[in-house]
């Protein structure tokens, strides 16, 4: 009789604890959402690896977006040409690597709103005599594999046997420095970043293209696009986004995109 009474008292108590704990468990699950984000660390100042730590504009940005949306981020490094396939298979949820929003890429992955306005530029050694794209005829050009710079060269009839494509942009710059190439065509902010550290090179001519970077997102999670866009809007509003330009570009805000530009509105064709 006493044992039965004891059990009877415990049962409602246990139910009460379960009732109180359930909402807390649900909130913990919601707030613990983790996204796996791919990054190519050979793209400074957007991504690089220093002393084993992945850092850069894009890395700080995606972490700030995730924080604003109550998510966490796991960074997975891989070569640039492996990013889109990894998003397609679902091995990555998203990727940041200064990825140009292109119509062909939109067929395979989703993109966030644009977050950086860029373009291709020509980097040469000072005194080379090269002043424009037309002057490159007959010269060797170095660049990075699977990027919009390769597309540009092909589209404009450049002799591809004179193009050296490297797995990372550092190797392309090394080719320029050692005489293995006469010019590098690549994203202007990265060329400018290299130029500031090497006084023997210069960018020449106008930007060859106008293009926008976006955060690439796997089509396997359609809801993630809205979350990332929402987080991007929040960090633009609270000033975190602008501070990244101060930190990584010395206050140069030429690449800032303060309005919400949908990827379909700014996508460039191959």
In this structure, the number of other CB atoms found within 10 A of the CB of residue 10 comes to 10
Nearest one of 77, 72, 66 to 38, comparing CA atoms: 77
**What is residue 208's DSSP assignment?**
S
- Tens-digit pLDDT string for the chain (270 aa): 333 333 344 444 343 433 333 333 232 233 348 999 999 999 999 999 999 999 999 999 999 999 999 999 999 999 999 999 999 999 999 999 999 999 999 999 999 999 999 999 999 999 999 999 999 999 999 999 999 999 999 999 999 999 999 999 999 999 999 999 999 999 999 998 999 899 999 999 999 999 999 999 999 988 999 999 999 999 999 999 999 999 998 888 889 999 999 999 999 987
Contact by Cβ (8 Å): 217, 93:
yes
Our CA dihedral for 123, 128, 133, 134, rounded to 10 degrees, sits at -170
Q: What is the pLDDT of residue 165?
A: 98
- Integer Cα distance of 27 and 10 in angstroms: 26
What tokens appear for 232 in the block? Answer: 């991007």
Strand arrangement, sheet containing 163-166: 163-166, 141-144, 183-187, 120-125, 201-204
Q: What is the pLDDT of residue 254?
A: 83
- Residue owning tokens 């990027």: 147
- Integer Cα distance of 72 and 34 in angstroms: 5
Longest dimension (CA), the chain: 102
Contact by Cβ (8 Å): 35, 87:
no
Q: What is the pLDDT of residue 147?
A: 94
Local structure of 70: helix, strand or coil: coil
What tokens appear for 151 in the block? Answer: 């597309």
Q: What is the pLDDT of residue 250?
A: 82
Q: What are phi and psi of 35, to 5 degrees?
A: -115, 140
What's the whole-model pTM score? 0.75
Q: What is the pLDDT of residue 15?
A: 39
Cβ-proximal residues to 210 (8 Å cutoff; 6+ apart), any chain:
117, 119
């Amino acid at each position: 009789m006493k044992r039965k009474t004891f059990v009877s008292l415990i049962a409602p108590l246990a139910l009460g604890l379960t009732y109180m704990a359930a909402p807390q468990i649900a909130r913990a699950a919601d707030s613990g959402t983790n996204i796996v984000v791919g990054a190519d660390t050979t793209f400074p100042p957007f991504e690089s690896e220093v002393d084993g730590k992945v850092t850069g504009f894009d890395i700080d940005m995606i972490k700030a977006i995730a924080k604003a949306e109550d998510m966490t981020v796991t960074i997975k490094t891989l070569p640039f040409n492996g990013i889109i396939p990894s998003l397609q298979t679902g091995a990555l949820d998203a990727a940041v690597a200064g990825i140009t929003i292109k119509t062909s890429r939109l067929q395979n992955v989703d993109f966030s709103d644009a977050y950086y306005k860029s373009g291709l530029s020509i980097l040469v050694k000072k005194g080379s005599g090269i002043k424009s794209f037309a002057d490159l005829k007959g010269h060797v050009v170095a660049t990075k594999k699977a990027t919009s710079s390769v597309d540009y060269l092909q589209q404009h009839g450049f002799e591809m046997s004179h193009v050296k494509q490297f797995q990372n942009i550092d190797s392309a710059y090394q080719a320029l420095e050692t005489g293995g190439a006469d010019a590098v065509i690549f994203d202007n902010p990265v060329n400018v970043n290299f130029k500031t550290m090497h006084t023997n090179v210069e960018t020449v001519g106008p930007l060859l293209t106008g293009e926008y970077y976006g955060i690439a997102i796997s089509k396997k999670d359609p809801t993630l696009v809205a979350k990332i866009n929402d987080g991007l809007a929040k960090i633009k509003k609270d000033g975190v986004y602008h501070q990244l330009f101060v930190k990584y570009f010395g206050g140069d805000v030429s690449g800032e995109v303060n309005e919400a530009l949908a990827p379909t509105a700014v996508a460039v064709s191959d």
